[in-house]
A and B are shown apart, each in its own frame.
Chain A
Amino acid sequence: MRAQFVLQEIWIGLRRNLTMTISLVITVAIAMALLGTGLLLRTQVESSKSYWYDKIEVSVFLCAKTSSNTNCKKQDITPQQRQELEADLKKLPEVAKVEYESKEQAYARFKDRFASTPGFVQSAKPGDIPDSFRIRLKDPQQYKQVAQAVLGRGGVDQVINEQEILKKFFKILGGLQWAALMIALIQVVAAVLLVANTVRLSAFNRRRETGIMRLVGASNTYIQLPFIMEGAIAGLIGGLFSAFLLVGSKVLLIDRLAGNVGFASQLNWGTVVLVIIATICFGVLLCAFASFLTLRRYLRI
Chain B
Amino acid sequence: MIHFDNVTKVYKTQNRPALQHVNVAIEKGEFLFLVGPSGSGKSTFLRLVLKEERPTQGHVHVAGKDLSRLTNWKVPHLRRRIGCVFQDFRLLPNKNVFENVAFALEVIGKPRRFISKVVPEVIDLVGLEGKANRMPDELSGGEQQRVAIARAFVNRPMILLADEPTGNIDPATSIGIMKVLDRINRTGTTVVMATHDAAIVDAFRKRVVELEDGRVVRDQSRGVYGQAY
Contact = CB atoms under 8 A, between A and B. Distances in A.
A212 B109 contact: no
Contacts of A2: 109
Nearest to A211: B90
A217 B90 contact: no
Residue of A5, A212, A215, A301 ringed by the most chain B CB atoms within 10 A = A215
B84 interface: yes
Nearest to A9: B107
Contacts of A222: 107-109
A125 B80 CA distance: 92
Nearest to A215: B84
Interface in A1-16: 1-2, 5
Interface residues of B, number: 27
B95 to A, nearest CB: 9
Contacts of A215: 50, 79, 84
Nearest to B111: A1
A208 B50 CA distance: 18
A217 B110 contact: no
A211 B73 CA distance: 17
Interface string B103-117: 110111111100000
B15 to A, nearest CB: 24
B10 interface: no
Interface string B139-176: 00000000000011001000000000000000000000
Given A2-B109, A212-B103, A218 B90 contact: no
A5 to B, nearest CB: 5
Given A211-B90, A217-B76, A218-B76, A1 B106 contact: yes
B98 to A, nearest CB: 15
Given A208-B92, A220-B73, A214 B79 contact: yes
Interface string A187-218: 00000000000000000000011011111111
B132 interface: no
Interface string B57-89: 000000000000000110111111111100000
B224 to A, nearest CB: 31
A222 B76 CA distance: 11
Contacts of A223: 107
Given A208-B90, A209-B92, A301-B72, A217 B111 contact: no
Contacts of B104: 212, 216
A1 B110 contact: yes
Interface in B121-138: none
Given A208-B90, A208-B92, A5 B73 contact: no
A212 B148 CA distance: 11
A215 B157 CA distance: 12
B90 A220 contact: no
A5 B72 contact: no
Nearest to B100: A212
A219 interface: yes
B84 A1 contact: no
Contacts of A208: 90, 92
Contacts of A220: 73, 76
A213 B79 CA distance: 10
Contacts of B103: 209, 212, 216
Contacts of B84: 215-216
A208 B148 CA distance: 13
A218 B112 contact: no
Nearest to B105: A216
A227 to B, nearest CB: 14
A217 B82 CA distance: 9
Contacts of B111: 1
Interface in A87-116: none
A218 B78 CA distance: 10
A1 to B, nearest CB: 5
Nearest to B80: A217
B53 to A, nearest CB: 12
A2 B115 CA distance: 13
Contacts of B152: 216
A58 B92 CA distance: 79
Given A208-B90, A209-B92, A218 B107 contact: yes
Given A1-B110, A222-B108, 9 more contacts: A1-B112, A208-B90, A209-B92, A213-B107, A216-B104, A216-B155, A217-B78, A217-B108, A218-B108
Interface of A: 1-2, 5, 208-209, 211-220, 222-223, 301
The 7 closest A-B pairs by CB, nearest first: A217-B80, A217-B79, A218-B107, A216-B104, A217-B76, A213-B107, A219-B76
7 contacts: A1-B109, A212-B103, A212-B104, A216-B84, A216-B151, A217-B108, A218-B108
Interface of B: 50, 72-73, 75-84, 90, 92, 103-104, 106-112, 151-152, 155
